[in-house]
């Protein structure tokens, strides 16, 4: 399978209102652009597997970073660590345990056969920008070409 699995995953996530209600269209691969508005999701393929016996079937291992920041509006502070965890929970809800989800990319239909969390969300605070928080998680996602 020579297709861009990152594009397939992004197209799937962009269609999931549970997630986009929080991050809008801020789903980036491989990383967030400098100065990106938060909350947002960044992801990249960190490895995975394929088999020559089943052409068109790959299982990338994907790292997701769910970002948020402390924000003060009208004297009320929204905690970035809590918002980052909300983004992660929404991501988990739209990925964990899904089966046979059709995704169309550039006129071609692909199927996310399954998605299973490999590493549960880890809460992290940015070292350089202490008001930025993220939750890091990893999923194994099986994708098949039609």
In the predicted structure, residue 1 carries a pLDDT above the cut 60? no
Output 26-31 pairs: Cβ under 8 A, ≥24 positions apart. Answer: 30/6
Tell me, what's the pLDDT at 128? Answer: 84
User: CA 106, CA 92: separation in Å to the nearest integer?
Assistant: 26
Tell me, what's the pLDDT at 71? Answer: 85
54-82 average pLDDT score: 89
pTM above 0.75, yes or no: yes
Interval 52-61: pLDDT, tens: 788 889 999 9
Interval 12-56: pLDDT, tens: 999 999 999 999 999 999 999 999 999 999 999 998 888 778 888
Question: Diameter of the chain by CA atoms?
Answer: 60
What six digits make up the tokens of 23? 């991050």
Domain spanning 5-145: which CATH class is it, in words?
alpha beta
In the predicted structure, residue 96 carries a pLDDT above the cut 80? yes
Tell me, what's the pLDDT at 41? Answer: 98
Cis peptide before 30 (omega within 30 of 0): yes
What does the angle CA 4 – CA 40 – CA 104 come to, to the nearest 5 degrees? 30
State what percent of residues in the chain have pLDDT above 90: 75
In the predicted structure, residue 115 carries a pLDDT above the cut 70? yes
Average pLDDT, the chain: 92
């Amino acid at each position: 399978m020579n297709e861009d699995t990152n594009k397939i995953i992004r197209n799937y996530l962009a269609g999931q209102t549970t997630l986009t209600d929080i991050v809008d269209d801020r789903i980036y691969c491989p990383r967030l652009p400098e100065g990106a508005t938060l909350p947002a999701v960044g992801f990249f393929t960190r490895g995975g597997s394929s088999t020559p016996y089943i052409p068109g079937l790959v299982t990338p291992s994907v790292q997701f970073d769910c970002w948020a920041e402390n924000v003060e509006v009208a004297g009320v502070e929204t905690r970035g660590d809590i918002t980052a965890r909300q983004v992660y929970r929404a991501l988990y809800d739209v990925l964990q345990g899904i089966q046979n989800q059709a995704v169309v990319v550039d006129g071609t239909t692909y199927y996310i056969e399954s998605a299973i969390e490999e590493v549960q969300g880890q809460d992290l605070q940015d070292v350089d920008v202490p008001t930025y928080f993220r939750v890091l998680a990893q999923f194994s996602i099986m994708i098949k070409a039609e």
